[in-house]
Structure 1
Amino acid sequence: MIPLVFIPFIVPALLLGINFILAKKDSPEREKPSPFECGFDPICSARLPFSLHFFLITVIFLIFDVEITLILPISQALSSLNLVPITAILILFMAILLAGLYAEWRQGALDWYF
């Protein structure tokens, strides 16, 4: 009988062994081992210009990601603090973010035609 202490070591080793036996052994293509960079073709020359659309979408994603991390604690603060100043700050914050999004939209940063 195997002691219970060894089970966490035996089960992953067994699963890893089964994986090595049953895994499909293909020769890797040229693209598979190369790293993926958003907006870059890793096979071509490194001197090609960078696609600005990928950069702008990344910046927009980061802005709205930070926005969510700033807005979520406000819902917790609404229950314990005065409602009027928190709501005013939240509306001002959302207005600034929406104005920035509208400005980027008007400048064509969200258009994906080439």
Structure 2
Amino acid sequence: MPLWGLRMLSKAASFWDSFAEKKKLFNFFHRPFIPMIEYVPILVYFVIASALSLVLLVLPFLFGSRKGDPEKVSPYECGFDPFDDARSRFDIQFYLVAILFIIFDLEVTFLFPWALVLKKVGFFGFWSMMVFLFILTVGFVYEWRKGALDWG
């Protein structure tokens, strides 16, 4: 940064300090007082976004066609007429795979922060994560041996 830039910064900082002392803009936590007028742009943004959303939700009801077309309301199945009812049952295996995915996805969310602070947590942190991973591995092997992952 050029020398004139440092001078400008120091002048601005000293001006702010003197201004804040005169106007008593600091509270007991030594944070500057922020007037509520600075939050007006955020309020305007939320009002405009809400109004636009409401307008975009209401316009199709006002100007859209009211005619029902059997082709539009029929379920789409690769360009063919549907073979069966769309509300058919499906296998519980899908739920099992979803639960296993959630469990191992949560494992990864614990692993990333642990990897970042591994040097700070030391010996105890390392072995506590190893116990955690061992428990998850035992659960995974149990699910595998019970056949929960077999699709046959």
Task: Tell me the TM-score normalized by structure 2.
Answer: 0.44
Give 3-state SS (helix, strand or coil) of 1:105's partner. Answer: helix
1:19-98 aligned within 5 A: 30-31=76-77, 43-44=84-85, 46=87, 48-81=88-121, 83-98=122-137
Q: Which has the larger radius of gyration?
A: 2
Equivalent pairs counted in the alignment come to: 78
Give 3-state SS (helix, strand or coil) of 1:88's partner. Answer: helix
Per-residue CA shift, 1:52-73, capped at 9, x if unaligned? 1111111111111000001110
Name the structure 2 match of 1:104: 143
Shift of 1:111: 0.3
Distance in 2, Cα, partners of 1:112 & 1:50: 13
Distance in 2, Cα, partners of 1:51 & 1:74: 36
Give 3-state SS (helix, strand or coil) of 1:66's partner. Answer: helix
Counterpart code for 1:30: Y
Task: Tell me the TM-score normalized by structure 1.
Answer: 0.58
Per-residue CA shift, 1:21-59, capped at 9, x if unaligned? xxxxxx877236xxxxxxxxxx5263x543111111111
Shift of 1:80: 2.1
| CA RMSD after TM alignment | 2.9
Tell me which of the two structures has the higher relative contact order, counting C-alpha pairs closer than 8 angstroms and 6 or more residues apart: 1
Name the structure 2 match of 1:4: none
Distance in 2, Cα, partners of 1:30 & 1:86: 53
Shift of 1:78: 1.1
